[in-house]
Chain A
């Protein structure tokens, strides 16, 4: 037992084990899914079709395809295949959604994503194949979001986008909206001034546009661009007023804000109420931000402000609720998807964490979509709102969100129609690899025993 060699051997085995399984995952050969009804989201459903997958991508979709001899065949007769669901806003993958400090633009959720978090297991079980992990709604400037696939051994295996957006929350942590906005403006002003300085000083002749492009191709990751001296200078200038954080963080934070202002990364803006929406729109105009609206339940009151923006918004998980008009004392049922549809503001759904549900079923995308359908949304639109639309919203629709030749083979095989209450996810496939199989899901078997047929 105490023999050092045996320890070493165990280590070796572990390493080999990891390596082998990783290699196995990578080595998945071509795959053919036969006999299923295919809902590709883009284009009409195919009653009985075939999907060919090679090298993690969709090679072909159609009716009478020739299946290559070497392909692994999945018989999905009687089942339904559609793209994996996309979660446009979720903090559940993080160990803790919110930072205690109010202004932390330099943080990245990548550092807190745990691939074995229960969130990802639930994602695969429920057919979610990609997700934007975004800091919570309680921090003024909460840090940077990332977009990931929901399966992988290490964060880097899962990452689609490292700097997927900066999270800003207009919900005041202290209850005072004036100081909340003032603090936010102060931070944004710093970044704006820094940009102006750069433009005047270093590169007076370069327009913001070319500068932006140059930086994107040169440094897609988190290294700040521009003269190193200037960066240091900026950082030093910002040092005094802020206590608690160090110089490097300050510089990185400033850089993140600058990117938001230059439009190089979007800003997830959480609005709690209708008045926050108005404030957000002002901020967007003042600092030329590229917004992704994340809306609280009562933001439906500001739907008019969102009409002309032609932007897909992310709705609160709570889709139907009752409200009391304080003036008339009249009780009214609010059906949020109905209001946004009537105003022609496109939207995607959120699900609720398993701790804080407001209604039965709101932890599931299919249920959220079904709720919208119940209140008048055509099923086709509702399915798009849990696949392609969120993929577009978080900027990964070139890879996922629909079943099209050349896109990632991220799909779900369902036992039946997607919004039917009796439908279960049979298999979830990410990058051409089977990452979930119901027949092997011991947990769900235990939860459902005994099935009364």
Chain B
């Protein structure tokens, strides 16, 4: 990293002027020196502006202040030169930092359990995320209970107090066979270990019965009273819900239940979405697609004959809102590019698109004025497997990668 001190030069671009007037005042009041970072990139990859062109980004106070060329700054500034710059990666389906177990196994209806209170901020997961250029994660509980709990959205680095974006987020519904895995169908019906659902019909039943009880003003048997308001919010559309569904029939059930009760769950997982893509489009669905690592590297497997590599391409063709999520996100974007997405579509699928899906595109997901200074610097084209990450910036702070050298 190249650092130098840049002194005041009078010429300023028109764009800069607006920000400068505002910042000079603040700049003099607070720390006047170390605060400013000017990043000069040979290539900036952001859905805003010209794709892959040379450019500069001025960062201050954890925010992007100016994006442009030949930016002049009034105060001493740290200059950082990089090859490629892209927005911080957003992972919409993560379990990073969830400590002490990820699933509630004693009850099926625990929508009020919140992941935020179980986050271990010192977890290695966050270190790994930063290393992979991931700056924001949505943390979901595991899906062993039907109403699994509340997701939260956090930054992957920074002061603990500043890391949360959404403490009490979307409600997670395990609309799949996952909740049945622990419940044995052959256990004694009167035993203490006997619990519903023991099959997938039971999963649908629990969702339906809980929601209809709450809708008619009742409470759900066996569930904590605290769960009622959450379920009410799902029904009224005040709180978004996520349906973790992988097979085509699970995805369909999620949409059906949504239609029945007047809410629209976002589908998380979506392995078999390609089978029902037309229907999914007609029903106005959106999907956080996590199956690419499972299907992309192989041309065989249980669904070997079905189309699976270029599912992102299919989703884009059908104009279905989607993003990539899960493990090795940057590599996922690389493979999505290999399989047919354009450079821009592939990078957007791990930055801009997930930010939109999380309802945070005004804050993260692109390199624009007044957005969070969450950036990733690479030694080359982000979508090439030979390009290592030089550093990741979260909230204006640089975290250097010490292993990738070029």
Residues of A within 8 A of B (CB): 118, 122, 125, 322, 324, 331, 333, 335, 338, 354-355, 357, 359-364, 367, 370-371, 373-376, 379, 419-422, 443-444, 446-453
* CB-nearest residue of chain B to A122: B299
Q: Which of B197-246 contact A (CB under 8 A)?
A: none
Partner of B331, one of A322, A359, A448: A359
Selected from B127, B297, B386, the residue in CB contact (under 8 A) with A419 is B386
Q: Chain A residue with minimal CB distance to B316?
A: A452
The yes or no answer to B321 lying at the interface (CB within 8 A) is: no
Q: How far is the CA of A386 from the CA of B83 in the complex (A)?
A: 28
Interface of chain B residues 329 through 358 with chain A (CB within 8 A) = 331-332, 334-335, 337-342, 345
Contact bitstring B321-332, A, C-beta under 8 A = 1, else 0: 000000110011
Q: Is the CB of A361 within 8 A of B309?
A: no
Interface size on B, residues (CB 8 A): 43
| A363 with B298: CB separation less than 8 A | yes
**Any chain A CB within 8 A of the CB of B191?**
no
Residues on the A chain within 8 Å of B404, using CB = 374-376
A residues near B341, Cβ cutoff 8 Å: 452
Contact residues in B for A331 (Cβ distance below 8 Å): 124, 127
Bound Cα distance A125, B406 (Å): 31
Residues of A within 8 A of B131 (CB): 333
Are the C-beta atoms of A452 and B298 separated by less than 8 Å? Answer: no
Which of B150-158, B250-258, B300-308 is near enough to bind chain A?
B300-308
What residues of B have a CB within 8 angstroms of the CB of A357 in the complex?
Answer: 293, 297-298
10 contacts across the A-B interface (CB closer than 8 A) = A125-B299, A354-B300, A360-B297, A360-B327, A371-B385, A374-B386, A374-B387, A374-B404, A446-B307, A447-B310
Instruction: Name the residue among B127, B297, B298, B308 with the largest chain A CB count within 10 angstroms.
Output: B297
Quick check: is B388 within 8 A (CB to CB) of the other chain? yes
B313 engages A447 (CB within 8 Å): no
Nearest B residue to A324, CB-CB:
B124
Q: Establish whether residues B316 and A360, one from each chain, have CB atoms under 8 Å apart when the complex forms.
A: no
Residue B20, interface by CB 8 Å: no
Do the beta carbons of B406 and A376 come within 8 Å of each other?
yes
Interface residues of B (CB under 8 A from A): 124, 127-128, 131, 292-293, 296-301, 307-310, 313-314, 316-317, 327-328, 331-332, 334-335, 337-342, 345, 383-388, 403-406
Asked whether, in the complex, the Cβ of B308 is within 8 Å of the Cβ of A361, the reply is no
Q: Return A432 CB to nearest CB of chain B, in Å.
A: 27
CB distance from A356 to the nearest CB of B (A): 11
Complex contact A322–B313 (CB within 8 A)? no
Q: In the complex, which of the residues A118, A419, A453 contacts B385, with contact meaning CB atoms closer than 8 Å?
A: A419
Q: How many angstroms between the C-alpha atoms of A335 and B406 in the bound complex?
A: 14
Residues B313 and A452 in contact, CB atoms below 8 Å apart: yes
Q: In the complex, what residue of chain B is closest to A320 when comparing beta carbons?
A: B403
Q: In the bound complex, what is the Cα–Cα distance between A367 and B335 (angstroms)?
A: 11
Given A421-B337, A452-B340, A452-B342, residue A361 in contact with residue B297 (CB < 8 A): yes
Residue among A322, A362, A367, A452 having the largest count of chain B Cβ atoms under 10 Å? A452
* Chain B residues whose CB sits within 8 angstroms of the CB of A374 once the complex forms: 385-388, 404, 406
**CB nearest neighbor in A for B341:** A452
Which interface residue of A335, A374, A376, A422 has the most chain B CB atoms within 10 A?
A374
**What residues on B are CB-neighbors of A422 within 8 Å?**
337-338
Q: Is the CB of A448 within 8 A of B386?
A: no
Q: How far is the CA of A144 from the CA of B210 in the complex (A)?
A: 62
Complex Cα spacing A443 to B303, Å: 13
- How far apart are A397's CB and chain B's nearest CB, in angstroms? 26
What residue of chain A has the Cβ atom nearest to residue B345's Cβ?
A452
Query: How many cross-chain pairs have Cβ atoms below 8 Å apart between A and B?
Result: 111
Q: How far is the CB of A450 from chain B (nearest CB, A)?
A: 6
A322–B298 Cα distance when bound, in Å, is 24
- The answer to whether B308 and A447 have CB atoms under 8 Å apart is yes
Shortest 10 CB-CB contacts between residues of A and residues of B: A370-B385, A354-B298, A447-B309, A331-B124, A451-B340, A360-B331, A373-B386, A374-B388, A360-B328, A363-B297
Residue of B nearest to A331 (CB): B124
Contact B386 A370 (CB under 8 A): yes
Q: Determine if B317 and A452 form an interchain contact, defined as CB atoms under 8 angstroms apart.
A: yes
Contact A450 B317, CB 8 Å, known A361-B335, A419-B385: yes
8 Å CB contact of B403 from A354, A375, A379, A420: A375
Query: With A374-B404, A419-B386, A452-B316 as given contacts, are A443 and B310 in contact (CB-CB < 8 Å)?
Result: no
A448 touching B403, Cβ below 8 Å: no
B310 touches A118 (CB 8 A): no
Q: How far is the CA of A75 from the CA of B147 in the complex (A)?
A: 60
Q: Report the separation of the CA atoms of residues A367 and B342 in the bound assembly, to the nearest whole angstrom.
A: 20
Q: From residue B403, how far is it (CB to closest CB) to chain A in Å?
A: 5
Smallest CB separation, A119 vs chain B (Å): 10
Query: A354 vs B406: C-alpha distance in the bound complex, in angstroms?
Result: 30
Cα–Cα distance between A367 and B334 once the two chains are bound (Å): 11
A382 and B128 alpha carbons, distance in the complex (Å): 25
The residue of chain A having its C-beta at the shortest distance from the C-beta of B128 within the complex is: A322
- Of B293, B339, B385, B403, most buried by chain A (CB within 10 Å of CB) is B385
Asked whether, in the complex, the Cβ of A447 is within 8 Å of the Cβ of B128, the reply is no
Q: A333-B131, A447-B310, A450-B314 are in contact. Are A361 and B385 (CB under 8 A)?
A: yes
Point out the residues of chain B lying under 8 angstroms from A364, CB to CB. Answer: 297
| A355 vs B405: C-alpha distance when bound (angstroms) | 31
Closest residue of chain A to B301 (Cβ to Cβ) is: A354
Contact B307 A447 (CB under 8 A): yes
With known contacts A322-B124, A363-B297, A449–B310 Cβ distance under 8 A: yes
Query: With contacts A118-B300, A322-B124, A374-B387 known, is A361 near B331, CB below 8 A?
Result: yes
**In whole Å, how far is B172's beta carbon from the nearest beta carbon of chain A?**
25
Chain A nearest Cβ from B404, distance in angstroms: 6
Residue ID in chain B nearest A420 by CB atoms: B384
What separation, in Å, do the CA atoms of A447 and B342 have in the docked complex?
Answer: 17
The answer on a CB contact under 8 Å between A448 and B340 is yes
Q: Which B residues are CB-close (under 8 A) to A420?
A: 384
